[in-house]
Amino acid sequence: MHNSIIIMKHIVTVLIFAGMSAALSAQENVADKYPGYRLEFADEFDTGVTPDPDKWEFETGMRRNHEDQVYTTDNATISDGMLVIEARKEKVKNPDYKRYSSDWNKKNQYGEYSSSSIILKNPYRYHYGVYEVRAKIPVGTGYWPAIWGCGDKYEWPYNGELDIMEYYGNAIHANLAWGSNNRWQAKWSSKAPKMNEFEGDFADNFHIWRTEWDHNSLRIYLDDRLINETDLDLTVNPNPGQSWYNVDGYNPYRDPENKFGVWLNLALGGDNGGSLDKTEFPAQYLVDYVRVYVPESDDAALRYRISKARKMLDENRDNGSYTAEAIAALSEAVSDAETYLGSSDDDVIDSALDALQKSMDDFYKSMINPCADGGTFRFRHLLSGCTLSSGWFEEKECVIITDDDAAGYNQLFTFAEAPGVAKTKGMNILTADGKYLYRDSWNLYVTDKTDRLADNNFLFKVESAEGYLIIKNLGSGKYFGTDNNVAWSHVYSDKPGFGARSNYFEIAGTSAGITDVTYSGDIAVSGIYNLQGVRVADTLDNVPATGNLYIVVSGNRAQKIIK
């Protein structure tokens, strides 16, 4: 008897561990089900008695399509590891009732049917990815269950509608909808196979609906059978011919920022559900789980950013000019894409770089004007492949500093925005690594103590001005260093042209003023320090109206300008 008990204990232990192992294996299989995608959201409906309020929100009232039900918060529960949405024939108060209203969904104080509708909240709304729902639906005339969603940008249908599943008219519907030339009228990509095309009784069996969505297409499956595949080149909104929305050319299915939430509801009657005269109640719509897998990579999102920026550049070109904003958007998108993808071999990136190069060529040509002082300042554009790289051009208010071959070039600031205030301009182009990068200021950058200007020489030269050279925003607590000629100190003060309580670095010369000041040492020990402006003053509070500041770089290395 004793040995039998021991044996039974061992058997029970083995079964327990086997069960745990199987459960863990199932969890791993769920997470790794789709290579290249990670499980981002899952609700297995195995806890609580109602939908998790942190994930789901209810619709209430009579909502759309002249449906007969009043949505309530009482008709959705959790039971036996399932979400249960139950439709009932019962008198229920309409929360949207308005006396004397002629609106179909507000004129009746009570409805004759009740049901529930829930939608995923932010931040549980997504775009590209795999959406998977296992459910059992009621079938028959009058029922209209659905798994669907809409984008959160713009109004319907310009935001896009995705119907992963709708049942009515003895058919399973899989649809996409987007805008037309008429407000509130959609273009559709629809498929509706009849119920007899599928095996089993839908009322007695669970089925799996799945959507696979990437940059190229959106595919809807039922039990691994492809129901609808839509080419997303076709889902572009036209111009509605109205001024109330700028949706012309907008593709709701290719904007990763246009988030879709999974919607689960059981509608009754209305435009599509059919007559309720013979419909059986109560009726239950059961959902076993909702899972959303998102791409491991951001490739599609990066491609969208590039295409969006290209569109902005095209609009600039059509208007006869390129704006700094458009150049910035595309250059940053390309830079991020290259960082992620690891190279510029991708055709999309190469095409964007070509467009960016062309836009920058045109942008620079529009900027080239003779200097006001007769052309004493010249700069050379040293970007690989640029058509302007072989010539000298006069420029007045733009500072370009390159990584190599710029040694000894005089980089001129002119006093343009305020008397005696020299600021870097918004059109500065960052060219240190051979790519176009736009910023509204430029940076002095040294990665470590061994990465510095050759011979450690950095010359500030002030002409036609005496007093102080002040450099703004090199970083709190940072410093260049000291030598016998120049004292460097941190100054906190309000200065004209830079705004209140700005951080400055002051170079204080002799009492006779600053003529040529040479600093020997590291430009910066480490980090990135933003140089937004330079001030020359005979005193800290008196800025001269005239004078030019040159920054001269000695050796084989100029200031690095980086993102």
- Condensed to tens digits (0 to 9), the pLDDT of residues 7-35 reads 444 444 444 444 544 444 455 588 888 88
Centre a 10 Å sphere on the Cβ of residue 110 and count the other Cβ atoms it contains.
11
pLDDT of residue 417: 31
- Say whether both 289 and 314 belong to one domain: no
Least confident span in 297-306, 377-386, 500-509:
377-386
Q: What is the pTM of this model?
A: 0.56
Kindly report, residue by residue over 321-367, the tens digit of the pLDDT: 545 555 556 656 655 555 544 444 456 555 665 665 555 545 444 33
pLDDT of residue 244: 56
Tell me which of 147 and 502 has the higher pLDDT: 147
CA distance 326 to 158: 24
pLDDT average, residue stretch 396-414? 33
| Domain membership flag for residue 4 | no
Nearest to 543 by CA among 439, 461, 489, 466: 466
- Classified as helix, coil or strand, 339 is helix
- Say whether both 346 and 429 belong to one domain: no
CA distance 233 to 3: 72
- Say whether both 377 and 464 belong to one domain: yes
| Domain membership flag for residue 426 | yes
| Main-chain dihedrals φ then ψ at residue 364, nearest 5 degrees | -70, -40
Q: Structure tokens of 8?
A: 């039974």
| Domain membership flag for residue 156 | yes
pLDDT of residue 363: 45
| Domain membership flag for residue 561 | no
- Say whether both 375 and 485 belong to one domain: yes
- Classified as helix, coil or strand, 202 is coil
| Domain membership flag for residue 286 | yes
Q: Give the distance between the most distant pair of CA atoms in the chain.
A: 111
| Domain membership flag for residue 562 | no
**pLDDT above 80 (res 228):** yes
Q: Hey, which residues does 495 pair with through a beta bridge?
A: 499
Report the share of the chain in percent with pLDDT over 90.
37
- Say whether both 431 and 332 belong to one domain: no
- Say whether both 264 and 311 belong to one domain: no
Domain boundary among 295, 322, 339: 295
Domain boundary among 252, 274, 295: 295
Q: What is the mean pLDDT of the chain?
A: 65
- Say whether both 357 and 382 belong to one domain: no
Nearest to 403 by CA among 550, 296, 557: 557
Least confident span in 13-27, 204-218, 253-267, 306-320:
13-27
Confidence of residue 192 (pLDDT cuts 50, 70, 90): very high
Kindly report, residue by residue over 465-499, the tens digit of the pLDDT: 333 333 333 333 333 333 323 333 333 333 333 33
pLDDT of residue 255: 87
- Say whether both 60 and 119 belong to one domain: yes
Tell me which of 494 and 182 has the higher pLDDT: 182
Domain boundary among 367, 396, 427: 367
pLDDT of residue 152: 92
| Domain membership flag for residue 313 | yes
Residue pair 490/444 in contact (Cβ under 8 Å)? The answer is no
pLDDT of residue 110: 96
Total number of domains in the chain = 3
Residue pair 411/425 in contact (Cβ under 8 Å)? The answer is no
**pLDDT above 50 (res 52):** yes
pLDDT average, residue stretch 150-177? 95
- Say whether both 283 and 334 belong to one domain: no
**pLDDT above 70 (res 511):** no
| Main-chain dihedrals φ then ψ at residue 68, nearest 5 degrees | -90, -20
- Say whether both 166 and 47 belong to one domain: yes
- Say whether both 320 and 432 belong to one domain: no
Report the share of the chain in percent with pLDDT over 70.
47
pLDDT average, residue stretch 234-256? 80
Confidence of residue 503 (pLDDT cuts 50, 70, 90): very low
Q: Can you give 294-328 as a three-state secondary structure string? A: EECCCHHHHHHHHHHHHHHHHHHHHCCCCCHHHHH
**pLDDT above 80 (res 40):** yes
pLDDT average, residue stretch 361-377? 35
| Domain membership flag for residue 21 | no
pLDDT average, residue stretch 419-433? 30
**pLDDT above 50 (res 391):** no
Least confident span in 99-113, 303-317, 529-543:
529-543
Please report, for the chain, how many H helices and E strands are present, in that order. Answer: 5, 33
pLDDT of residue 529: 34
pLDDT average, residue stretch 254-263? 91
Question: Could you list the residue range(s) of the whole structural domain that residue 509 is in?
Answer: 368-553
- Say whether both 170 and 228 belong to one domain: yes
Residue owning tokens 């010539």: 391
pLDDT of residue 203: 83
Among positive and negative, which fits the CA dihedral 150, 151, 156, 158?
negative
The CATH number covering residue 46 comes to 2.60.120.200
